[in-house]
Amino acid sequence: MSELTDGQRELAALIDRIFEDGVVDAAERQQLARFWANKGLTVRQVREVVDAFVERVWADVIEDGVVTDGERERLQAVVSGLSLPESILPEKMREAL
């Protein structure tokens, strides 16, 4: 990933904070929506941040080589919370879901 802009760093921090508890509530969804609308990031910039986050979560999940039901729920929360199409996920992550 290229050098992050201030907006990308803000987005990364927001995503980390939102997913800290593994649940995305309505207020957090609104925060994300406001961020997308107001920060002026390009699709590529957002995608870089989201891809890096997904990679970190996936690496954490597969660290021990076993995907538990709880970890599967965590992955699903990321996919649904960020409204990600499964096609952009790593193949092994798609299989785990």
pLDDT tens across 19-61, in order?
Answer: 998 888 899 989 988 888 888 899 899 999 999 999 999 999 9
- Kindly list the domain boundaries of the chain, sorted by start residue: 6-96
pLDDT in tens, 56-90: 999 999 999 999 999 999 999 999 988 888 888 88
- For residue 36, the one-letter residue type is W
- For residue 7, the one-letter residue type is G
Distance in angstroms (rounded) separating the CA atoms of residues 4 and 66: 32
Task: Provide the whole-model pTM.
Answer: 0.86
Distance in angstroms (rounded) separating the CA atoms of residues 86 and 97: 9
